[in-house]
Structure 1
Amino acid sequence: MSVVVIGAGVIGLSAALAAQARGMQVTVIDRIGPAAGASAGNAGAFAFTDILPLASPGILRKAPKWLLDPLGPLSVPPAYALQIAPWMYRFWRACAPGAVAASTAAQTALMDLSKAELEPFLAATGTRSMLEKRGNLQVYEGEAEMRAALPGWAARAAHGIAFQHMNATEMAALQPGLAPRFTHGTFTPGWYSIADPKLYTTALAERFRANGGTILQADVVALQHDSDGVSVICAGADPIRAGQVVLAAGAFSHLIARSLGERIPLETERGYNTTLPADAFDLRCQLTFGGHGFVISRLSTGLRVGGAVELGGLKLPPNYKRADAMLQKAKAFLPGLKPEGGVQWMGFRPSLPDSLPAIGRARATARVVYAFGHGHLGLTQSVGTARLVADLLTGQAAAINLAPFNPQRF
Structure 2
Amino acid sequence: MRIAIVGAGIVGLAAAHALLDKGHEVTLVDPGNNQQRPTEGNAGWIAHMDVMPLASPKAWRHLPRWMMDPLGPLTIRPSYLPALAPWLVRFVLASSPARIKSSIAAIRSLNAQALPSWKERLSSLGLEGHLRERGILSVWRDRDHFLQAQDIIARQRDFGIPLDVLGPRELADLEPALHNIEAAVLYTEGCHVSDPALLAADLLRLAVERGAARIEGKALSVQPSSDAVHVHTDGAVKDVAADRVLLSAGVWSRALARQLGDTIPLDTERGYNATYAKGVFGLNRPVMFEGEGFVASPLDTGDRVGGAVEFAGTQAPPNHERTSAMITRLKRFLPHLDAEQPARRWMGFRPSIPDSLPVIGPSSRDGRVIYAFGHGHHGLTQAAITSRLVRELVEGAPASLDLKPFSAQRF
- TM category, shorter: over 0.9
The residue aligned with 1:144 is 144
Percent of pairs with identical residues: 40
Contact 1:53–1:104 (CA<8 Å) still a contact in 2? Answer: yes
The residue aligned with 2:125 is 125
The residue aligned with 2:81 is 81
The residue aligned with 1:182 is 181
The residue aligned with 2:213 is 214
1:109/1:366 CA distance change after superposition, 3 Å: same
Structure 1: tracts of 5 or more residues without a match: none
The residue aligned with 2:193 is 194
Secondary structure of 1:221's counterpart equals strand
Contact 2:279–2:298 (CA<8 Å) still a contact in 1? Answer: no
Amino acid at match of 2:304: R
The residue aligned with 2:362 is 361
Amino acid at match of 1:123: S
Quote the offset at 1:61 in angstroms.
2.6
The residue aligned with 2:227 is 228
Distance of 2:384 and 2:279 partners within structure 1: 31
Quote the offset at 1:205 in angstroms.
0.2
What is the total number of aligned residue pairs between the two structures? 409
After superposition, the C-alpha distances for 1:315-349 in whole angstroms (9 at most, x for unaligned) are 11111111111111112211122331110000000
Amino acid at match of 1:32: G
Quote the offset at 1:34 in angstroms.
7.6
Amino acid at match of 1:401: D
The residue aligned with 2:59 is 59
After superposition, the C-alpha distances for 1:83-140 in whole angstroms (9 at most, x for unaligned) are 1011011011111111111111110110112222111100112211110011111111
The residue aligned with 1:204 is 203
Amino acid at match of 1:369: I
Distance of 1:2 and 1:312 partners within structure 2: 37
Contact 1:10–1:35 (CA<8 Å) still a contact in 2? Answer: no
Structure 1 stretches of at least 4 aligned residues deviating more than 3 Å after TM superposition: 33-36
The residue aligned with 2:239 is 239
After superposition, the C-alpha distances for 1:9-40 in whole angstroms (9 at most, x for unaligned) are 00001001101101100000112258762101
Amino acid at match of 2:351: P
Task: Find out whether 1:376 has 2:407 as its counterpart.
Answer: no
Contact 2:49–2:156 (CA<8 Å) still a contact in 1? Answer: yes
Secondary structure of 2:274's counterpart equals strand
Q: Equivalent residues in 2 for 1:339-354 (5 A)? A: 339=339, 340-354=341-355
The residue aligned with 1:154 is 154
The residue aligned with 2:14 is 14
Amino acid at match of 1:24: H
Give the stretch that moved more between structures: 333-342 or 78-87: 333-342
Quote the offset at 1:235 in angstroms.
2.5
1:40/1:289 CA distance change after superposition, 3 Å: same
Amino acid at match of 1:361: P
Secondary structure of 1:291's counterpart equals coil
Task: Find out whether 1:23 has 2:12 as its counterpart.
Answer: no
Amino acid at match of 1:287: V
After superposition, the C-alpha distances for 1:359-396 in whole angstroms (9 at most, x for unaligned) are 00000001000000000110000000001001101111
After superposition, the C-alpha distances for 1:220-273 in whole angstroms (9 at most, x for unaligned) are 111111221201111365221100000000110011112212211101010000
Distance of 1:315 and 1:54 partners within structure 2: 24
Amino acid at match of 2:59: I
After superposition, the C-alpha distances for 1:51-101 in whole angstroms (9 at most, x for unaligned) are 111111221232122111111111101111111011011011111111111
Give the stretch that moved more between structures: 308-317 or 204-213: 308-317
Distance of 2:76 and 2:39 partners within structure 1: 23
Secondary structure of 2:231's counterpart equals strand
Structure 2: tracts of 5 or more residues without a match: none
Contact 2:261–2:363 (CA<8 Å) still a contact in 1? Answer: no
Distance of 1:118 and 1:164 partners within structure 2: 24
Contact 2:36–2:347 (CA<8 Å) still a contact in 1? Answer: no
Q: Return the TM-score normalized by structure 1.
A: 0.97
Distance of 1:373 and 1:365 partners within structure 2: 20
Contact 2:363–2:371 (CA<8 Å) still a contact in 1? Answer: yes
Amino acid at match of 1:252: W
The residue aligned with 1:399 is 400
Secondary structure of 1:326's counterpart equals helix
Amino acid at match of 1:53: P
Secondary structure of 1:282's counterpart equals coil
Distance of 1:14 and 1:338 partners within structure 2: 38
1:129/1:35 CA distance change after superposition, 3 Å: farther
Amino acid at match of 1:293: G
Amino acid at match of 1:313: G
Amino acid at match of 1:223: V
Contact 1:9–1:35 (CA<8 Å) still a contact in 2? Answer: no
Distance of 1:378 and 1:192 partners within structure 2: 15
The residue aligned with 1:290 is 290
Distance of 2:170 and 2:115 partners within structure 1: 28
Contact 1:196–1:300 (CA<8 Å) still a contact in 2? Answer: yes
Amino acid at match of 1:214: A
Contact 2:36–2:348 (CA<8 Å) still a contact in 1? Answer: no
